[in-house]
Amino acid sequence: MEIKINSLEVVFYFCVWIVSNLYSLHLLFETQTDILNNNNELTYSLSDMSSGWRILSRPKDISDVEWSSWKYFIQSSWHYLVFQFFVSEILRRTKLTILKYWYIMSSVIFIVFHMGFKQLFVISAQPIIFGTIISCGGNKISIWLTGILLLVSYNSLKYKYFFWYFLDRKELQDEEVYLILFTIAWIELRCISFCIDYVDKKEKHRTPNSVNHNYPTVVETTVDMFSYILYLPLLYIGPMILYQDFEKSFSRPKEKFTLRLKIFIWDMFLFLIYTFLLDFAFHYIYFLAMQNDMEAIRKLPTIALCGGGLWMGLEFHMKYVISYGTTAAFARLDNINAPPTPRCIARVHVYSQMWRYFDVGLYRFLVKYIYKPSFNTLSKYFVFSESTNKLIASFATFVFIFMWHGTVWNIFVWSVLNFFGITLEHIGKGISGGVMYKWFKTNVLKTDEMETRFIALLCTPLLALSAVSNFYLFGGTKIGDLFFECVLNPSLWNSLQVSVALYSCCQVSMALKDVGSRTDRRKTDVTSTS
């Protein structure tokens, strides 16, 4: 809803929220330093600590494998990505019809020379399987059954370290193996996007009496599929771009070369600064590395532990702003309308906004291929209410989210809590449209200002639940359980501090609801799953 309180009150909430964040991070740093200084053996026993920058003379937290894998990828490939772009730009101006062939060839060259033939086999396996299905006349059901089967197989093999042994780990750095694992998950989404769009297009143009449907040939379909799925800038890290958006890049008017290049250089400059700041912060905050010793984490006071949760969220956000932002910047150079970078999680207070604005590409995929089809199917064949259909469609979406992110306990808890939060939001929206709430607003709240404060108050516990659920994703089961213990056994003073801070966050979030991220050049045009 639009914020109705006066600007001075908004500034007050903003200051409270910022001060609360800074205080919790400061307390985390102080207590973490005391714990490590009083237990020198702990510093050396933490396997995710290494020597940092010489100028700082401090150890560095290196526990985030996604972060180290992204840095490895961009450091080893940026020059090749620049080369690919300039060749692509020449072909786009002179011979657009062979641009897709160049995308395929350049990706294959990179994979073979930088990774090896085994990696090429792993990366190509899913497109070949899905391509075979649609070439044999497969429908959406066969596509989804294949996708689910591949997800189950992938998760089973991943947790048994199959890929580490198959890829001959001795000849690879750890980051290379992790990149392959990330890539397999992203490729599945792109395969599903292409195949379902292909089936939709085929069904749309089918006529009962037509003999010649003017379908693309097998070669054309294969080129379309592999150029999209193997597109190098987005191959390993993401973000997710729907096939329709990729295909539009070949026909939509392109911005001037100099303008695209200026935007790209400015983006790269900012992301380089962000990378420096994040690596700098890893020299001072060791909350991620300390999770190897839960007894050390348990020594942190509650507010410092909240600072640790905040740090996990901020680090997660910055990591994806940089990684998604960098690869998306290369995609925009190629005239592809890439999704905007994630909004800061420190200004999002409800589940639906987190899903809609953090990973926009994944959100668009979920809405287009799972939520909307599920809702439409339920509406067509069943007599449930619209609200029930929405909740069932949301449930189907979160089942896929659980399977795609990994079928382990902490991901299961995170998915369940997210679905529960979305359900609470949906119930709240239903109540707000009812007669009783309108009476309550007119006779009790009376003003829009009071309604805004009331809604922020109701959202405060939901924000706390959202934070704890995300801690299961960020830190795993033990960390998530520890935060749940704090929620279930709070002290009055700590509860008051945290509640005031979260209430202020809700007010700030509502005030900034319509303010997009820096790269959000257009509104997200999808419907909320809630």
Give percent of the chain above pLDDT 70: 93
DSSP SS3 for 410? helix
Cβ count within 10 A of residue 256: 8
Residues β-bridged to residue 60: 50
Taking every pair of Cα atoms in the chain, the longest distance, rounded to a whole number of angstroms, is 82
Distances (CA, A) of 514 to 19, 359, 426: 23, 17, 20
| Model pLDDT, residue 116 | 83
| Model pLDDT, residue 525 | 37
Averaged over 287-314, what is the pLDDT?
Answer: 91
Distance of CA 324 to the CA centre of its chain: 9
pLDDT value at 5 more than 50: yes
| Locus of tokens 């989210």 | 401
pLDDT digits (tens, 9 = 90+) for 173-223: 778 888 888 999 999 999 999 999 999 988 877 655 555 556 678 888 999
Averaged over 479-489, what is the pLDDT?
Answer: 88
| Model pLDDT, residue 52 | 86
| Model pLDDT, residue 528 | 38
Distance of CA 480 to the CA centre of its chain: 19
Instruction: Give the Cα separation of 126 and 192 in Å (integer).
Output: 10
Q: In this structure, are residues 506 and 458 in contact, taking their beta carbons and an 8 Å threshold?
A: no
Q: What is the mean pLDDT of the chain?
A: 88
Instruction: Give the Cα separation of 413 and 482 in Å (integer).
Output: 14
Instruction: Give the Cα separation of 107 and 123 in Å (integer).
Output: 11
Give percent of the chain above pLDDT 90: 56
Cα angle 360-406-68, degrees, rounded to a multiple of 5: 70
Instruction: Give the Cα separation of 457 and 386 in Å (integer).
Output: 28
pLDDT value at 527 more than 60: no
pLDDT value at 420 more than 50: yes
Q: In this structure, are residues 194 and 126 in contact, taking their beta carbons and an 8 Å threshold?
A: no
What does the chain come to in residues? 530
| Model pLDDT, residue 37 | 84
pLDDT value at 268 more than 50: yes
Q: Which of these ranges, 35-39, 312-316, 406-410, has the smallest mean pLDDT?
A: 35-39
Look up residue 90 and give its amino acid: I
The pLDDT-based confidence of 349 (bands split at 50, 70, 90) is confident
Structure tokens at 86: 């300039």
Dihedral, 129, 234, 277, 271 alpha carbons, nearest 10: -170
| Model pLDDT, residue 529 | 40
33: nearest Cα among 54, 51, 59: 59
Averaged over 410-426, what is the pLDDT?
Answer: 92
| Model pLDDT, residue 2 | 54
Q: In this structure, are residues 403 and 148 in contact, taking their beta carbons and an 8 Å threshold?
A: yes
DSSP SS3 for 491? coil
pLDDT value at 429 more than 90: no
Q: In this structure, are residues 374 and 144 in contact, taking their beta carbons and an 8 Å threshold?
A: no
Averaged over 1-25, what is the pLDDT?
Answer: 86
pLDDT digits (tens, 9 = 90+) for 69-102: 999 999 989 999 999 999 999 999 999 999 999 9
| Model pLDDT, residue 303 | 92
pLDDT digits (tens, 9 = 90+) for 117-171: 888 999 999 999 999 999 988 899 999 999 999 998 888 887 767 777 777 656 6
| Model pLDDT, residue 492 | 86
Structure tokens at 309: 């949760």
Averaged over 37-62, what is the pLDDT?
Answer: 81
pLDDT digits (tens, 9 = 90+) for 442-477: 888 888 889 888 998 999 999 999 999 999 999 999
Cβ count within 10 A of residue 294: 13
Q: In this structure, are residues 106 and 84 in contact, taking their beta carbons and an 8 Å threshold?
A: yes
Q: In this structure, are residues 106 and 232 in contact, taking their beta carbons and an 8 Å threshold?
A: yes
Highest mean pLDDT among 37-51, 325-339, 483-497: 325-339
* Helix or strand holding residue 341 (H, E): none
| Locus of tokens 């150890």 | 59
| Model pLDDT, residue 521 | 58
3-state DSSP percent of the chain in helix, strand and coil, to 5: 75, 0, 25
| Model pLDDT, residue 488 | 82
